[in-house]
Amino acid sequence: MNSAAKQNVDYKILIRVIAQAKPYSAVLSLAAVLAVVLAPVAIFRPYLVQVMVDEYIFKFDIPGLTTMALLFIGALVLESVLRYFFMYSSNWVGQAVVRDLRVKIFNHITSLRLSYFDRTPIGISTTRTISDIENINQVFSQGIITIIADFLTVFVVLGVMFWVSWKLTLVCLVTMPFLIAATYIFKESIKTSFQQVRAQIAKMNAFLQERLTGMRIVQIFNAEEQEMKKFKKINREYTQANIDSILAYSIFYPVVEIISAATLGLMVWYGARASLGNEVTLGALVAFPLYLNMLFRPIRMLADKFNTLQMGLVAAERVFNLIDRQDHIKNEGEISPEKFNGEVAFKNVWFAYNGLDWVLKDISFEIEKGETLALVGSTGSGKTSIISILNRLYDIQKGAIEIDGVDVREYELSAYRSRMAVVLQDVFLFSGTVLENITLRNDHISKEQVIEASKMIGAHEFIEKLPGGYDYQVMERGATLSMGQRQLISFVRALVFDPDILILDEATSSIDPESESVIQHAIETLIAKRTSIIIAHRLSTIRHADKILVMDKGLVKEYGTHEELLQIEDGKYRELYEMQFLQVGVA
Ligand code: TTP
Ligand code: MG
């Protein structure tokens, strides 16, 4: 059956979760040993009570009774100490495993290929690294070991009870089927409501995260009220899910109370008669309710613990699924050049993001060392895609991309990328200083180099004027800097890395003429003496390029020099040129 199959899978995951604790096997074994020791130690106290009643109280042995009382206290202290170490060690293992897993996941996520992030909401990746992993902790702290400890307790208690009086024990067990049935029903019903709760939390997280990121849009378009309505709806559903789970608890606990009271009643009724008939000692009669309590408590908690375990395993399954994803860009190349000469060639390249819809179709072009290629084309024609595959953010499906006559797949990935700099359309700055944003914490780049590069780009002046200069704290994503300033910082970033091949996705947004000349100068500095590919929007950039590639719907429409392309009758480039030229002429 379905649930049986599910159990099977869970079992495998359980083993894998436990395997994560391998480096901490000593502590884990300690916890397991403590669990085993705790069961008999716990049962020792009720047993002492029984002995006290039978052997001392009714025989008026007062000194003996004092010894027994001290023994009782000793047992209590021993149990408390053992319990302390047990809880501490099992929780400690859980936390240690979780800490290791977090690092593993972070490492894994940062090396996943970009197509994974195209398909997966950011919220999912954060949930995996933070809250799902936290649930795995529970597998250790509340799951397996405690469940084993509880089972052991139940068996030991039952054993002692049978040993003391099997008849009385059997009487007590009459109600057991009811308890087991109630526990089972409870377990199933809180399982569904817990899943509901978790699903609703995820929904609320995702909603909040998106709204916070897009707060500007929410406020600009006066959408607060609509968003509020949506939030209220999610909030209501979340509350309902919580209430459902509380309902299950509020039914289950009284039911268990009734069953245990009934058991106690049965036991007293039968036990008193048996005691009168001298079948059971009075001590046993006094101790039995204590045994019963020790029997009921773990059984009552088992349902809860099984669910916690189950939830931890579900979380573990998700985390393992992510860890198992082999969605990396293949890094099988072995060539690690010190430097690229700078010849780039695309040979009949075909590419699709999803493997189905061709975004680039049969693209071919060549750039010589030191040359500049301008990519031109309408929006969505595939310009950004060309540079993404050149930077190996995605793998191509057909054809070949070669640098210095060698297929890019034969280069070692990080060596390959380190010789290439990409300046993207929308500049992303991290929170940190301007300096850190330029060097990306690469220790090999000195502040002097950064300042020199800034001067060459023409960014030094404005950075100097920021409070703190190069140590100015950039707020999240550089919100406190203007678009042009961010652009300049990204240019400096590219220049200090001194790449052999420079790729630039020119910002589409138009800027004032003064900044325009600053940016123009910066771009010229950047592309001087190195192979460059520029996705160009401004005529001034395009005209300076050695070659121009006009893209249209994923195809190479025209390819050649400025002069050559202008010769083409009804050519797209010519049309584009005349349009822009007219605009410039009018302005
Ligand atoms: P792009 O290569 O991004 O087009 P572009 O850079 O020429 O456009 P713009 O001038 O606006 O910057 O996209 C080409 C096609 O690929 C487009 O139809 C959208 C699709 N695409 C994806 O499917 N997934 C992606 O991650 C990207 C970036 C694009
Ligand atoms: Mg683009």
Residue 263 has pLDDT above 70, yes or no: yes
Q: What is the distance in angstroms between the CA of the first residue and the CA of the last residue of the chain?
A: 76
Q: Which residue has a Cα nearest atom 26 of ligand 1?
A: 118
Residue ID of nearest Cα to ligand 1 atom 14: 382
Ligand 1 atom at minimum distance from 377 CA? 7
pLDDT at 490 over 50: yes
Does the structure show a pLDDT above 90 at 3? no
- Segment 48-73 shows an average pLDDT of 86
- pLDDT of the residue at 5: 41
Q: Judge whether residue 9 has pLDDT over 80.
A: no
Q: Mapping DSSP to helix (H, G, I), strand (E, B) and coil, where does residue 58 land?
A: coil
Using the mean position of ligand 1's atoms as its centre, give its distance from the Cα of residue 320 in Å.
32
The full set of domains in the chain, from first to last, is 21-323 (1.20.1560.10), 335-419+522-587 (3.40.50.300), 420-498 (3.40.50.300)
Selected residue with higher pLDDT from 452 and 280? 452
pLDDT of 196 reads 82
CA of 437 to the centre of ligand 2 (A): 23
Find the mean pLDDT for residues 170-195. Answer: 86
pLDDT band for 124, please (50, 70, 90 cuts): low
Return the ligand 1 atom nearest residue 382 CA: 2
Predicted confidence at residue 8, as pLDDT, reads 44
Query: Which residue's entry shows tokens 């939030």?
Result: 231
| For range 153-175, the mean pLDDT | 88
Higher-pLDDT residue of 11, 346: 346
pLDDT at 122: 66
CA-CA distance, 388 to 77, in Å (whole number)? 66
Over range 7-23, report the average pLDDT. 79
**At 282, is the pLDDT very low, low, confident or very high (cuts 50, 70, 90)?**
confident
Q: What is the mean pLDDT of residues 428-437?
A: 86
Asked if the model's pLDDT at residue 211 lies above 50, the reply is yes
Question: 450: CA distance to ligand 1 center in Å?
Answer: 33
Between residues 10 and 285, the one the model is more confident about = 285
Residue 70: which pLDDT band, with cuts at 50, 70 and 90? very high
Nearest C-alpha to atom 17 of ligand 1 is from which residue? 380
Ligand nearest to the CA of 382: 1
Question: Which numbered ligand comes closest to the C-alpha of 394?
Answer: 1
pLDDT at 85: 93
Which ligand is closest to the CA of 388, given by its number? 1
Average pLDDT score over residue span 335-348: 91
Which residue has the CA at smallest separation from atom 6 of ligand 1? 384
Nearest-5° Cα angle at 26, 24 to 28 = 70
**Span 246-263, mean pLDDT?**
89
> Taking Cα atoms as reference points, which of 535, 527, 457 lies closest to residue 489?
457
CA of 257 to the centre of ligand 2 (A): 67
Q: Where does ligand 1 bind, in terms of residues with CB under 6 Å?
A: 118, 353, 359, 377, 379-385
Backbone phi, psi, residue 218, to 5°: -55, -45
Neighbours of 505 (CB within 10 A): 21
Give 108's contacts (C-beta < 8 A, 6+ positions apart).
Answer: 322, 323, 325
In one-letter notation, the amino acid at residue 130 is I
Relative to the alpha carbon of 537, which ligand is closest?
A: 1
158-179 average pLDDT score: 88
Q: What is the dihedral of CA 570, 576, 577, 578, to 10 degrees?
A: 70
Residue nearest to atom 18 of ligand 1 (CA): 380
Residue nearest ligand 1's atom 3 by CA: 384
Q: Each residue of 493-551: pLDDT tens digit?
A: 988 888 899 998 876 655 666 777 788 888 888 888 899 999 988 777 788 889 999 99
Query: What is the mean predicted confidence (pLDDT) over 195-199?
Result: 79
Q: What pLDDT sits at residue 582?
A: 63
Q: Are strands 531-535 and 372-377 parallel, antiparallel or unpaired?
A: parallel
3-state secondary structure string, 177-236? Answer: HHHHHHHHHHHHHHHHHHHHHHHHHHHHHHHHHHHHHCHHHHHHCCCHHHHHHHHHHHHH
Q: How far apart are the CA of 562 and the centre of ligand 2, in A?
A: 22
| 115 CA closest ligand 1 atom index | 26
pLDDT of residue 587: 38
Separation of 359 CA from ligand 2 center, angstroms? 12
Q: For residue 7, is pLDDT > 60? A: no
pLDDT of res. 119: 66
In the numeric block, which tokens belong to residue 586? Answer: 């009018």
Q: What are phi and psi of 398, to 5 degrees?
A: -135, 155
pLDDT for position 4: 40
Ligand 2 centroid distance, CA of 35 (Å): 61
pLDDT confidence bin for 359, thresholds 50/70/90: very high
C-alpha dist (Å) from residue 254 to 118, 201, 257, 306:
50, 29, 5, 20
